[in-house]
Amino acid sequence: MPTRKIIHIDMDAFFASVEQRDNPELRGKPVAVGGSRARGVVAAASYEARRYGVHSALASKIAAQRCPQLIFVKPRFEVYSAVSRQIREIFYSYTDLVEPLSLDEAYLDVTENKIGMPSATIIANEIRAKIQAETGLTASAGVSFNKFLAKIASDMNKPNGFTLIPPDKAEEIVAALAIEKFYGIGKVTAAKMQSMGILTGADLRARSEEELVRNFGKTGRYYFRIARAQDDREVQPHRIRKSIGSERTFEVDLTEEEVMLLELEKLAKEVAHDMERLHATAKTITVKIKYFDFNQTTRSKTFLGEIKSADAIFTIARDLLRTPQLPAYPVRLLGITASSLLYQHDKMEGYQLTLEF
């Protein structure tokens, strides 16, 4: 097999950068997208905010404490989605093998590409330049011969950076990498590894596959391979989402059923909109309830038929909210997720004719 040429493109502080681009008054200032000083969660933080320890998934109240001058901005997901589509058109001008991971990052396989360019480095830097010229935003890129290494590389020189990990340097770079920097190893797993004396890639490589499987299950085989810079996963241009959801944290805890239902109706419309955009239907609806004390619960229901309309999603979510009873404590967050998804192309392939007798 020829050596693959994989690029990972990662937009720099995407949501926050879009806000700073569209509002010059925010440029050079610490910005948090999502949440408020009172409550909520940060969805994204500008690099100016990150210097104070503000990052995504951080409680807004803590973010405000760390950075008193932090500016909170309401997210505009429709704008971020539009910019993301604009960026993907740039990707597709080079290759159809594009695997989006989220609105702001994607893998590209340019081993064979539309412009006949043998250098993935040149393509990656052309893409970065086009993104900046067409959107006013910067992106970081990593290039290597597999997805794991390309992802690691894109994070090495952020923001607005580029890193190449060639085959002859791969094992050396992985060996020196701190275990918490490994893509696919989260905080909990990293902490467990550190307690076992696994602090770097070299430490991970020293462990047998049997030991890693014994301690981490099937994923241990993946850890064994990436410690050796091995990853044979292909770029998947038709990566299928397993669920579609939306949730909202409230400024003030909800206690009235009428208000909760209004919020569920908004969430149902958002989920239905995304399902329509992706030509998907669902068979399972889940309602997530987080209480004032951060305890949370989920309530789900699965149906034989397909669910796709906002009215149907809302009706099911309303029933789930009331079953077995309405929340007994103040609610700080509500969410709706549609899962067991069926896409239109799947239905076409597996269509069954119904005859009326």
Question: Which of 19, 48, 99, 105 is the catalytic position?
Answer: 105
Question: Which residues pair with residue 243 across a beta bridge?
Answer: 339
Question: Which residues pair with residue 290 across a beta bridge?
Answer: 296, 333
Cα–chain-centroid distance for residue 287? 20
Indicate the burial class of 158 (C-beta count within 10 angstroms; 0-12, 13-18, 19 or more): middle
SS3 state of residue 226: helix
274 annotated to bind ligand: no
Question: Which residues pair with residue 165 across a beta bridge?
Answer: none
Q: CB 312: neighbour CB atoms within 10 A?
A: 18
| Annotated catalytic residue 105 | yes
Look at strands 296-307 and 280-291 and give their pairing. antiparallel
Q: Which two tokens stand for residue 10?
A: 């990662």
SS3 state of residue 261: helix
CA-CA distance, 156 to 141, in Å (whole number)? Answer: 9
104 annotated to bind ligand: yes
Q: Which two tokens stand for residue 254?
A: 């909800």
Long-range (24+ apart) CB contacts under 8 A made by 210-219 are: 216/189, 216/192, 219/184
φ/ψ of 286, rounded to 5, equals -125, 135
Rg (CA), the chain: 23
Look at strands 243-254 and 280-291 and give their pairing. unpaired
Q: Which two tokens stand for residue 118?
A: 């043998």
> Roughly how many angstroms between the first and final C-alpha of the chain, as a whole number?
56
Cβ-Cβ contacts under 8 Å for 215 (sequence gap 6 or more): 192, 196
Residues of the binding site for Mg(2+): 10, 104
Q: Which residues are marked as active site? A: 105
